[in-house]
Every structure is written in C-alpha cells, then in structure tokens.
Structure 1
Amino acid sequence: MKILSTISNVACLILLSAALFTSCKQTSDTKTTNTVKDSTNFKLYSKNVQDSFFISVQLPLAYPEQPKKKYPVVVLTDANFYYPMLAPVLQQYEQGGLLPPMILVGIGYKSFQAMDSLRQRDYLYPKAIPSDEMKAPGGGQNFYRFITGELLPYINKNYPTMSTERTLLGHSFGGYFTLYSLLEQLNTKRADFSGFVAASPSLWYNNFYLSRIPEQLKTSAVTDTLSLHLTVGQLEDPKWSVAPVNDLSSMLKTDKRLKFSSTIYTDLDHMDVGLISYIRGLQKIYNK
C-alpha cells in the first residue's frame, strides 16, 4: 500500500474549495439554468427507503458548448458535507485538464443534522449486531435499490450521461456503503457502477461483514471492468481502521478482475481523508 504525506495538499484543496465555491457555484447555476431540467437541486422520493432525498446535480463546464456529448457520472454520498467542497474542485480540475468533464450527483438530506442521524439508517447492511454497540436497522440494501432503481434512471433520463462510466464515492459509513454496493453489484450481476472510491470505510461493522468481497469477486464473471480506490489515514485507529484496510487491500491487490489501488495518508486522521481520496480516486479511475 502506497504511503503519502498530503496534509498540505488537503489544506490547500479545502481552502481552494472555500474560496472558489461561491464563484464556481454561480457559474454552474448560470450555465445550467434553462438547459437540463432547469434546476440543479431537487427532492426525490424513494419508494424503497420510504423517505425523500435532496439531490444536487452539477453539469461539467463543457456542457454548454457540447450539450449532446455524454459524460461520466459521479455519485456522492454525504452530500450535505462533501458536495460544497467537491463540486468547485471538480470544475477547477476540469478547467485545468486534471480530470475529464463529468456530472456530479450529490445525495443529501433536508439538513446537515438529518444527514448525521439518517446516514446510519441508509449506509449500513445488514442490521447491527451487539458488538457494534449501535442501533442500525440495516437499510443499506434499500438505499442501494434507491440509487440503482430510482435515482440513476432519473439521472439517465434527464441528463446526458454515460451509463457505462459511473463512480460511487463514500467516506466512513459512506465508505462502507460504497464497498457494500460493490458486493451487492457482484451478487446481483449488475453493472450500475464501474468505479468505487471508499475512504476510511467502517470495515469493523457487523463482524467484518465486507470481508467476503474477495471471495465473491473470485466467483463473479467480472473481468477487468471495475475499479476500486481504497484509503485510510495513518492517524486513524490502528486496530479498527488501518489494519482492516491493509488486510482487505492485501486480498484484493492480486485479483486481476479488479483495477485496484490503495493509499494510507500519513498525518491524516479520519475526517481529513474524504476529500483528497475522492479527488485522487477519480484521477486514478478516469486519467487513463
């Protein structure tokens, strides 16, 4: 596993996000007004979850000049927290030629507080066991079905998407959900996502339930069509965070069915890992 010292890079990216968010968001809103669905923010009710989600969509800077072109789709969990940071960075990276133009789809809740309480309901599967010391109903499967059966069809219908080029991003419980989605996709023989970025995933959940991914990958018909970027911060808990990511990485890195990469970020703790993981993960997946 590659080890990088990136604290200064993360600080710069966050400052860049804060400085550019207002101007870039205004640019995005202006360019998407009266084009596709006339809005970049909407509420979408899920029959699977039986709740509404607040969706944010950012079209690439290239869209006004190339409206008929189809673009890769990046689906972001924990959007209340990460979307305001990641959205302007993706546009800036597109403008600088560091990433290709892509459509960003953020899945959020009605408020930051709601996200903080409901992500436990939506991101974890199966139901929590006593050793988890938490109450999680195991709604991850319902949330997965919302994304694959309700959200993605809506996005495909209303936006110029490349249905074969979609990446799912998640951090912490969201990172767990990203890996669970990979497992579920293998189990159901679906092809909803071609890329997965899991930052500091909560691999300890339900007695390391996701440790079955390597075996499921071996029995799948997948060749080399899937990419996974897995990360953790070196300052995170050595036993419950760093070691499980190392163990899973050791099992996955030799499997040629998966385009796999992993990184331990030195000097970074749990909450520092998400943004830099998303950017670097997208670069590894799309800068071929």
Structure 2
Amino acid sequence: MSIMQSTAPPAAAVTEGGASRLSDVGRFRVPGPLPCDIDIALPADYRARRRARYPLLFVLDTGYLFGSVAEIARLMHSTDEVRPCIVAALRMPEAAKDVAALMRMLTTQLLPACTRRYRVEPGAVVVCDLDSRGRLTSELLRTDTSGIDHLLAADPRQLEFARHPGPASRSLLLVGTDSEHFVQCHEQARARLPQTVVRDFSFTALHGTALATPAVAFTLRTLFATGRAYGHQVVPLRRRPIVRLLETLRPIFARLQPRPATEPAGNPYRMSAPELDRDFEVFISLPAAARAGHACPLLIVLDANIEYSMVTETARRLARDGRIEELIVVGIGTPRIEGHAAFGFRRFEELFPPQGEDRFDDDLGRIMRSLYAMRGQRARERLGQGAAFYRFITRQLLPQLQRDLPVDSDALGIVGHSAAGTFVGYALCQPDNPFKRLLSISPGVGISDSWLMRCPLPAGGGDAALFVAIGDEERSNAFNIIAGIPDSEAFAARMQGVAGLRVQTCALPHQTHSSVFPAALPAGLDWLYPVTDRSAVVTT
C-alpha cells in the first residue's frame, strides 16, 4: 500500500508538524476583541478519571512547541516519574502587536477559559514562556500574574524586572545556559521578587533555541514529580518465583486479552510490512527546501508514537536559527488504534536484535518473560525481530521515500532512544547499512544478551557519524542498569575502532531515562547536521 505518489506526498500523508500526529488533542476559540485559538492536549486517563483534576501547562508561544510539550509531558507520565498534565498552547494572533494587552488577556480571559472547560487543579497552573527569551515573562511580571501559580522562562536573556513588579507568582523557574548573564538573571530575580521562590537550571551543552523542551522536562520534575524511579514497576518481575507463577498463569492471561481494535479503512499514514505481518504508521514532515524540490537530508525517527513531535519541532527550530540543515523527518510508529500497551510490546519485538542463544535467564530476560506471560505469550517467540524490521526500513520504506521525495542519500540519518537506541547500533553494524548520521540516546546495551558488545564491528568506510548520549541519573537507576544503559559509553568506545566513523559521546547531568531525550536530541542534531557557514545567519 503506497502512502506516497510518484512526485510528491499527498497532503493527507504529510504532517504539517509534529503536533498533527498527536491523539487526544483539540482546539477552541476564546472570543473577544482579539480572538485567540487555544490548542489542548489531554492526558491519556482524562476521560476515565472523571473526578480527577490536573496541572495545566499553558504554553505562550507555539512556534513548533505544542507537540513537543505535549509529548514530553506524556512520555514522563508514562514512565510514572511525573503526574499527568493538561497542555494548552496559545496560537499567537498575527495581529497581536500589543503584547501588554495580550498578557492581560491571558490572566483575565484565556486562563479562566481553560479552567472552566477542563478539570484544572487549583494551585497548579504553569505558564511557559519558551520562545521569547523572557520578554513575555517580563510583561507578565510588569502587569499581573493573578491566576498563575508558576512561571517558566527558557533562555531568559531578555528578561527584565520592573521597578514595581505585579503580584508575585508562587514560583519562577529559569532555564538557561551556564553563563555569567544567566547567573546575574537569577540573582536579580531573587532580589526583585522576594516573595517568589526562584528555581534555576543551566544546560552547559545547549544553546538558546534548544532549551525549550528540556526546560519543560525540568519544570515537570521540579513541580510534579511522583518520587518514583523509572522502571520501578517492572524490576520485581525479574524474581524467579514471580516468573514461574506468571508463566503458569499464561493460559488464563491469554483468554483475558481484549480483542484487537480494528481501524476503518482510509488511514493515509498506514503502511503494511508483509514480512512482519503487521502495519506501521509513517509520518512525513517536509521543510520548505524539500517542498521547493531541493534535496535534503532525511532523518528516520523510531518510536514515532512518543517522540516524533519532539524530533520534528526541534529540527525545525534548529534549522530556523541556522544551526542545522533543513531535514526531512520521517517517523515510524505503531498504528495508534492498537493502543499504548501494544506499542510498548511491539517496540520490544521490532527493536531487539536477534536473540541468538540467549536463554532468557538474566534479569532482563526474566522481566521480558514475565511481561509477555501477562499477555498470554512467550517472550522467546516474540522478541528479536530486529532483522525483519531493519529489512522493512531499508528495502521497503527507504527506497520508496528516495523515489518520491528530494532526498540527499549521502546524509541518511536515524534516531532512536532506549530500545530504539539499541536498534540504531544494530543498524550501524549491518553490512548494508545505508545510514551515515546515527543518533543513539540511552541505548539498552544489555538487550539480546549484550548484542551491541558482541557483534562483529562494521567494515566502515565513507563519512559516517555516531552520536551517543546518556543521562547521569541513568547510571544508578535499577532498571537502566539491568538494561545495560550505563554501558552506552563502552559501546561508543567500541565503535571508535570503525574506520571512517566519527564518534561523539555526551553525558548530561541530572537527567533521567526520559528527560534525557529532549536534552540530548538538539545536541546530537547540532553535531550531526551542522551548518558550516553561519556568517549570514541572523538570529532574532
């Protein structure tokens, strides 16, 4: 089944941006002299928990940000690290030249409209100023912050504190780079806003444009952390008595499984993979250069269900500021109608390298046996389909993309996180690997009996680059240790021996397995796809 035509993808199969892929999103209009559209992304359990109230993240400036904020909030909640949140984003009207009036409208009309329509938790309204370098935060502090419990300003280089600021927010969160100016900004905030709790965090490896989504991850962890570590639910499943019990009950679990959901015909993103006997959803984001017919590098995004928006919007923002080349971004995901649980299990199957002689008796193998037993299945029969998934990408999807899109085939890229990061390493080590730009974030080096540390090294040749990143807090997390994620740097060191392969590693301080992705992504794209001549770039 083709998702593309011979000359250009049909409009129905090409996303305008990352947010168009998201489920459970909507939009409503707030009337008035200056009508405003508000985009809304609801938590996955919003409809099921009819009495629950949720924190509200209200994003002021939606230039390639709404999808990223919604995605990181959902990702970090799915790992049980933070509470679920409602995400709202203001589509700034083009006629909104009076910023002061618009900020007054925020507190008098826009935020009240959200709290009337949705179950917003009192005392948990966060206004996120992510793209103005602090100008909108300055205006809010200059006028009125009633109805706002927390303010976030990313890259606050233009943040100014009025001589007589308005009512203080409960807290002000500042996220910037490790610079003297940022330190001074924090000191001024504490001096000028004595009743406000000021929290700050600096990223040494990132520049201003790249700070937006990492700033939201910092805010979620600061304000709405659950106190539970990543993977805490599954670590007990490695115990042998639990494995034996669950495998004994497998036939009962099999009878209790719900019937697979069926989707009406006509999904323009759906693509069949006959060898795997399953379908994928394929999303395409074209930059302006590609729409004009110019050849652009193509970047494959694995785990599109949870990270396509972040990659698409980050790439657009970096290209907008002249830091990287314009990229065609293609996401591969599980059909959304199958649900989040099916996505989780399918990614294990499709992203794990072949299992070989693994007896499934190490900690990770026993966890997988327990998880699959609760689905009425055997892990040995399901895992290790990475070779077939690799053939789907390289022999079916990529050739079609190269026929139908203006692709620079000398700079094909692939990005993956966690198990998908493992698959990136698997692809690198294949004899026919077509990828020249590879970004592996927190790869599970222990997957498939540590396949990445046992496999033959690729022959190399040509100009290829591998970027490997890890979060510092992953080194001590129990499940991350079981999956071999702390061995990411050892894997990168092993790849240093490949001829013609440039390797870069990055360890980001104070980042968990989920929060590391939005921080490592821009650093990796910056290194893999740099614009060499920036003399003509003017950053506004």
TM-score, normalised to structure 1's length?
Answer: 0.79
Counterpart of 1:55 in structure 2 is 282
Counterpart of 1:192 in structure 2 is 434
Q: 1:261 aligns with which of 501, 504, 509?
A: 504
Please, which moves more after superposition, 86-95 or 161-170? Answer: 86-95
Counterpart of 1:99 in structure 2 is 324
Structure 1 residue 62, shift from structure 2 partner: 2.8
Determine the C-alpha separation between the residues in 1 that align with 2:270 and 2:326: 25
Structure 1 residue 202, shift from structure 2 partner: 0.6
Q: Cα 1:8–1:178, aligned 2, differ >3 Å: closer, same or farther? A: closer
Structure 1 residue 159, shift from structure 2 partner: 1.0
Q: CA RMSD in A?
A: 2.6
Please, which moves more after superposition, 85-94 or 198-207? Answer: 85-94
Q: 2:467 aligns with which of 229, 234, 246?
A: 229
Structure 1 residue 247, shift from structure 2 partner: 1.9
Q: Cα 1:6–1:253, aligned 2, differ >3 Å: closer, same or farther? A: farther
On the 8 A contact 1:148/1:192 being kept in 2, the answer is yes
Structure 1 residue 285, shift from structure 2 partner: 1.2
How is 1:1-288 mapped onto 2 (pairs within 5 angstroms)?
6=203, 12-13=212-213, 42-64=269-291, 67-111=292-336, 113=340, 114-127=342-355, 129-131=360-362, 132-133=365-366, 134=368, 135=379, 136-184=382-430, 188=431, 190-213=432-455, 215-217=456-458, 220=459, 222-238=460-476, 239-240=481-482, 241=484, 243-253=486-496, 255-287=498-530
Letter in 2 for 1:270: H
Counterpart of 1:31 in structure 2 is none
Structure 1 residue 71, shift from structure 2 partner: 0.7
Q: Cα 1:207–1:167, aligned 2, differ >3 Å: closer, same or farther? A: same
On the 8 A contact 1:60/1:102 being kept in 2, the answer is yes
Q: Deviations over 1:218-259 (max 9, x none)?
A: xx1x23521100111110144554541232233333555311
Determine the C-alpha separation between the residues in 2 that align with 1:110 and 1:271: 22
Determine the C-alpha separation between the residues in 2 that align with 1:211 and 1:145: 22
TM-score, normalised to structure 2's length?
Answer: 0.44
Q: Deviations over 1:124-144 (max 9, x none)?
A: 011363322212521100100
Tell me the SS of whatever aligns to 1:106: strand
Counterpart of 1:27 in structure 2 is none
Unaligned runs of 5+ in 2: 1-177, 179-201, 218-266, 369-378, 533-540
Please, which moves more after superposition, 110-119 or 94-103? Answer: 110-119
Tell me the SS of whatever aligns to 2:300: strand
Determine the C-alpha separation between the residues in 1 that align with 2:203 and 2:485: 17
Structure 1 residue 85, shift from structure 2 partner: 2.0
Determine the C-alpha separation between the residues in 2 that align with 1:8 and 1:229: 14
Counterpart of 2:222 in structure 1 is none
Unaligned runs of 5+ in 1: 18-39
Structure 1 residue 265, shift from structure 2 partner: 0.9
Letter in 2 for 1:69: H
Amino-acid identity (%): 22
On the 8 A contact 1:224/1:259 being kept in 2, the answer is no
Determine the C-alpha separation between the residues in 2 that align with 1:50 and 1:225: 35
On the 8 A contact 1:75/1:107 being kept in 2, the answer is yes
Tell me the SS of whatever aligns to 1:164: helix
| Higher helix fraction (1 or 2) | 1
On the 8 A contact 2:446/2:485 being kept in 1, the answer is no
Structure 1 residue 104, shift from structure 2 partner: 0.1
Q: Count residues with an aligned counterpart.
A: 253
Q: Which has the higher contact order (CA 8 A, sep 6+)?
A: 1
On the 8 A contact 1:6/1:267 being kept in 2, the answer is no
Tell me the SS of whatever aligns to 2:335: coil
On the 8 A contact 2:318/2:324 being kept in 1, the answer is yes
Q: Cα 1:48–1:101, aligned 2, differ >3 Å: closer, same or farther? A: same
Structure 1 residue 50, shift from structure 2 partner: 1.4
Counterpart of 1:20 in structure 2 is none
